[in-house]
Copies of this chain bind each other. A is one copy, B any other.
Amino acid sequence: MDAANNPKPITDAERIDRLRLIRSDNVGPRTFRSLLDHFGSARAALARLPDLAQRGGASRAVRICSEQDARAELSASKKVGIHLLAPEEAGYPPRLATLDDAPPLLGVRGALDTLMRPMIAIVGSRNASGAGLKFAAQLARELGDAGFVIISGLARGIDQAAHRASIASGTVAVLAGGHDRIYPPEHEELLAQILATDGAAISEMPLGHEPRARDFPRRNRLISGAALGVVVVEAAQRSGSLITARMAAEQGREVFAVPGSPLDPRAAGTNDLLKQGATLVTQASDVINAVAPILERPVMLPLREDDDDPLQGDPNAGDRAQIIGLLGPSPVSIDDLIRMSGASPATVRTVLLELELAGKLERHGGGLVSLI
């Protein structure tokens, strides 16, 4: 399906069901997709959750978000101008919708049109140098003039410089917490400016969610995933911007890096990215030329999992024990699990889903899973 050109609204009832499912315990975006694909609807999946989690060995009853709570969140969101959008709806950034861990419902505030336009992410150090800030602003302005929306994390340093320079042309802030929990707080005014000028803010978190340290790497996948490519302007070694760059690479997005002196620790991360094959950026045309061929291809939503291969009704105890025995803290691929266990793909997938809903399994990118 061409995500950008064929948006399709979902019903309010469906929205409530999906919200309940994603706000229930142990249901992340990947589990959500798996449940939806296999049970055909969020409502059917909700009905099966307690049973699946129990078979996966949940020590206590898994909390399921009530219809009342979902309605309350939806109405509170609406009141402050937040749409909770499904990947197939207009206003959900088309490239973000193609991720296998795309948020099932994305909290969107601001100009929906802007979110449908091609985006470039600009990210970098919070404690950036004057030169870094100046370059980020210059690049954001030139990319904005060339028709690209600038997406970033609303952080101090490079992020805010990129946002500010692209307010006139369109910019999108990606939040790690709820829409009412802006971090850092001193950027609330910047966000207001962005929203007042055809910009937008997006978050996958509910209202009231205070961003914690672990929410930022998770948020970073949305910055890279919504964009054609990520430009890292300044980054020390082991910095958050490098996580965004790694996610961009895993998502098949272009990775760009701005060079710097080997004696400048704020360039250590970007120079490393360049050694690993990132595209070197000294001017906007370096980015524009690299993404031009990608822009011409339609944005396709991923195919659903094969409907002809439904979940196993109830895997037998031997299969379940064997599959659990093959799992450990190191990620292993589902394909390997199927081969090594000798069980059917449907059985393996069912056992994994049970474990996941019991809070015992973690899904990684590339079809890898591990025990928590």
With a CB–CB cut-off of 8 A, which chain B residues contact A262? 135, 258-259, 281-283
A316 interface residue (CB < 8 Å to B): no
Proximity string of chain A (103-147) to chain B, C-beta cutoff 8 Å, 1 when within and 0 when not: 000000000000000000000000000010011000000000000
In the complex, the answer to whether B263 meets A134 with C-beta atoms within 8 Å is yes
Compute how far the CA of A263 lies from the CA of B128 in the bound complex, rounded to whole angstroms.
14
Compute how far the CA of A283 lies from the CA of B275 in the bound complex, rounded to whole angstroms.
12
A330 interface residue (CB < 8 Å to B): no
A301 interface residue (CB < 8 Å to B): no
Quick one: closest B residue to A272, CB to CB? B282
A260 interface residue (CB < 8 Å to B): yes
In the complex, the answer to whether A280 meets B275 with C-beta atoms within 8 Å is yes
| Given A135-B263, A262-B281, A283-B262, A274:B275 Cβ within 8 A | no
With beta carbons under 8 angstroms apart, the residue of B258, B259, B261, B271 that contacts A135 is: B261
In the complex, the answer to whether B261 meets A274 with C-beta atoms within 8 Å is no
In the complex, the answer to whether A271 meets B263 with C-beta atoms within 8 Å is no
With a CB–CB cut-off of 8 A, which chain B residues contact A275? 280, 282, 286
In the complex, the answer to whether A259 meets B263 with C-beta atoms within 8 Å is no
* A: interface residue count bin: 20 to 34
A267 interface residue (CB < 8 Å to B): yes
With a CB–CB cut-off of 8 A, which chain B residues contact A134? 263
With a CB–CB cut-off of 8 A, which chain B residues contact A268? 282
Compute how far the CA of A268 lies from the CA of B281 in the bound complex, rounded to whole angstroms.
11
With a CB–CB cut-off of 8 A, which chain B residues contact A271? 259, 280, 282
In the complex, the answer to whether A280 meets B286 with C-beta atoms within 8 Å is no
With a CB–CB cut-off of 8 A, which chain B residues contact A283? 262
| Given A275-B286, A280-B271, A282-B271, A261:B260 Cβ within 8 A | yes
With a CB–CB cut-off of 8 A, which chain B residues contact A274? 259, 274, 280
Compute how far the CA of A282 lies from the CA of B260 in the bound complex, rounded to whole angstroms.
10
Name A212-269 residues within 8 Å CB distance of B. 258-264, 267-268
Q: How far is the CB of A277 from chain B (nearest CB, A)?
A: 10
With a CB–CB cut-off of 8 A, which chain B residues contact A286? 275
Proximity string of chain A (179-217) to chain B, C-beta cutoff 8 Å, 1 when within and 0 when not: 000000000000000000000000000000000000000
In the complex, the answer to whether A261 meets B263 with C-beta atoms within 8 Å is no
Compute how far the CA of A282 lies from the CA of B257 in the bound complex, rounded to whole angstroms.
15
Compute how far the CA of A286 lies from the CA of B282 in the bound complex, rounded to whole angstroms.
22
With beta carbons under 8 angstroms apart, the residue of B259, B261, B280 that contacts A131 is: B261
Q: Which of A131, A258, A271 has the most CB of B within 10 A?
A: A271
Compute how far the CA of A258 lies from the CA of B275 in the bound complex, rounded to whole angstroms.
11
Give A residues with C-beta under 8 Å from B.
131, 134-135, 258-264, 267-268, 271, 274-275, 280-283, 286
Q: Which 8 residue pairs spanning A and B have beta carbons closest together?
A: A259-B259, A262-B282, A131-B263, A271-B282, A131-B261, A274-B280, A260-B261, A275-B280
23 CB < 8 A contacts A-B? A131-B261, A131-B263, A131-B264, A135-B261, A135-B262, A258-B261, A259-B259, A259-B260, A259-B267, A259-B271, A259-B280, A260-B261, A261-B261, A261-B267, A262-B281, A262-B283, A268-B282, A271-B280, A274-B274, A274-B280, A275-B280, A275-B282, A275-B286
Extra contacts, 6 of them, besides A258-B261, A259-B271, A271-B280 (Cβ < 8 A), are A134-B263, A259-B259, A261-B267, A262-B283, A271-B282, A275-B280
